[in-house]
Amino acid sequence: MIDQTQGGKSNLKSRVTFHGAARMVTGTMHLVEVAGRRILLDCGSIATGKMEDNKPPEPFPFDPTSLDAVVLTHSHHDHCGRLASLVRDGYDGPIFTHATNVELLEVLLRDSARVQEREASMARHRGGKNIEPRFDTADAELTIDLCESVDYGESVTIGDDIELTLRDAGHILGSSMATIGWRQNERDRKLTFTGDLGRSGIDFHPPPAALPVSDYLICESTYGGELHDSVEVMAQKTGLAIRRAVREGGKILIPAFSLGRTQMVVHFLQTWMQEGIVPPLDIHVDSPLGHKFAKVYDRHPEGFSVPLRIFDDIDWLENRDDAMDASLSPGSRIVIASGGMLEGGRILQHLKHHVDDPRCTLLMVSFQAPGTLGEKALQENDSIHFGGKRWNKWLAVEQVRGFSGHADHNDFLRAVAPLEGKTSKVMLVHGDVERAEKLAKAFATKNLGKIDMPELGQTIELD
């Protein structure tokens, strides 16, 4: 690597500016400026999960054409949701990401563009206000064309002076942590970004790769101070909730995000049915996008620590008529549908038919952000408002923690152990203030240098 402090470039500063996921769990977007180059780590959407917050995003706080490269850790909306908009606004450089993630990104961007174009067309036909898609199919295809695949452990150069290495983050299929290396003041420097770090103790994805020794660490903190349920506890809680619904003859509704959570839940339900923990029932999945992602999962057995069970005896529903037939058929059955926080998605149509049926169970398997319909459903109220009206909430509502693809508090402590005494600065992101503070307090006892919790828009200098 070329030493950028030589040859008249000694005034170049190394720094990171946090344009998202700062003291909140959404919108990851970190601008790294080192060796005279500008590298964007992820380009996610900022969203609260509330349906009423469907407003156009703010303009980018930097010139997209000024970027030298983008590094994409994975294809969840809060990490890639504005990527095609970045391209629409003029970015035309490389997007470095894992090869498998490119396949998932293709599915996501094409589907999102199609939905936006359809909604804009419907708005025009209704004579309402003109809705401009955040990006269209042409933008999606151009974004896909800009992707450059990087294998785990492979190093690529950005220009002649920066080295990028991706490692398996263990969060979802194709997820990565990224390490950027450069030379400054006649010394090699490294910065590692965890992306979303996977959890341990669950046989699904392989465990995350070891964090490399780095001068600087940008670390997610989603579950700082929190511990996940073990797989055994998850199985027990799920089995109890489903058996109760079966005794009553009711349906089991499971809202799940299309990428990652849906596939994981299907796999474990199949596994627990085979083990006799969960009673054998028909499983219907009302998530066409989740089905497309599942096909990518099925093509990549190397991305999993066990053989996947996501297609055998599973009814993947493609149209709304089939979904309603499954939902309204007599007898107990499991319906998994898109809309992990009940904020939109196909789950709402099923909920309308069963929310006032005390025989049924709503099984929550995802984090429920404050103020979302999912969080309100967990409250002990006998009614709930959605779809323009108030409904009697007579079905049982249960929550199973542990399906998360994120590291918990102990996972973080194990992950940073090799960095103790070798890192000068840790920057905690992708966590609400309370959880980030708990992780910061624990990290402060581990000889990890200065611990920062950057605010939105804050720039931190890399000494």
The separation between the first and the last C-alpha atoms of the chain, rounded to the nearest angstrom, is 19
Question: What is the distance, to the nearest Å, from the Cα of residue 312 to the centroid of all Cα atoms in its chain?
Answer: 26
Max CA-CA distance within the chain?
77
Q: Which has the closest alpha carbon to 416: 149, 137, 218? A: 218
Strands 30-34 and 37-41: antiparallel
Q: Lowest-pLDDT range, 8-22, 248-262, 383-397, 439-453? A: 8-22
**Could you tell me which residues come within 8 angstroms of residue 216 by beta carbon, excluding any fewer than 6 positions away?**
16, 189, 190, 191, 192, 423, 424, 425, 426, 427, 462
Q: Which two tokens stand for residue 242?
A: 């489903």
Residue 269 binned pLDDT confidence (cut-offs 50, 70, 90): very high
List the domains of the chain with CATH numbers.
Answer: 15-226+405-461 (3.60.15.10), 231-399 (3.40.50.10890)
Residue 364 or residue 132, greater confidence: 364
Q: Are 216 and 427 contacting, i.e. CB atoms less than 8 angstroms apart? A: yes
Q: What percent of the chain has pLDDT over 90?
A: 86
Q: Is the pLDDT assigned to residue 349 strictly greater than 70?
A: yes
**Could you tell me which residues come within 8 angstroms of residue 186 by beta carbon, excluding any fewer than 6 positions away?**
3, 5
pLDDT tens digits, 6-17: 333 334 789 999
Adjacent-strand bridge partners of 386: 389
pLDDT tens digits, 203-214: 999 999 999 999
The mean per-residue pLDDT over the stretch 408-412 comes to: 98
Put simply, whether the predicted model's pTM sits higher than 0.85 gets the answer yes
Which pLDDT score is estimated for 52? 39
Q: Other C-beta atoms within 10 Å of 413: how many?
A: 15
Q: Is the pLDDT assigned to residue 51 strictly greater than 50?
A: no
CA 225/CA 289 separation, integer angstroms: 33
Residue 47 binned pLDDT confidence (cut-offs 50, 70, 90): low
HSE of 53, CA atoms in CB hemisphere, 13 A: 11
pLDDT tens digits, 83-127: 999 999 999 999 999 999 999 999 999 999 999 998 888 877 777
Q: Is the pLDDT assigned to residue 379 strictly greater than 90?
A: yes
Which pLDDT score is estimated for 87? 98
The mean per-residue pLDDT over the stretch 164-178 comes to: 98
CA 144/CA 138 separation, integer angstroms: 10
* 1 burial type by CB count under 10 A (0-12 exposed, 13-18 middle, 19+ buried): middle
Average model confidence (pLDDT) for the chain?
93
Residue 55 binned pLDDT confidence (cut-offs 50, 70, 90): low
Which pLDDT score is estimated for 185? 83
Which pLDDT score is estimated for 127? 72
Residue 56 binned pLDDT confidence (cut-offs 50, 70, 90): low
Q: Is the pLDDT assigned to residue 400 strictly greater than 60?
A: yes
The mean per-residue pLDDT over the stretch 387-414 comes to: 96
Q: Is the pLDDT assigned to residue 67 strictly greater than 90?
A: yes
Which pLDDT score is estimated for 298? 96
Q: Is the pLDDT assigned to residue 301 strictly greater than 50?
A: yes
Q: Which two tokens stand for residue 254?
A: 């499971």
CA 452/CA 440 separation, integer angstroms: 8
Which pLDDT score is estimated for 460? 98
pLDDT tens digits, 121-138: 887 777 767 778 899 999
The mean per-residue pLDDT over the stretch 320-326 comes to: 94
Question: What is the distance, to the nearest Å, from the Cα of residue 166 to the centroid of all Cα atoms in its chain?
Answer: 17
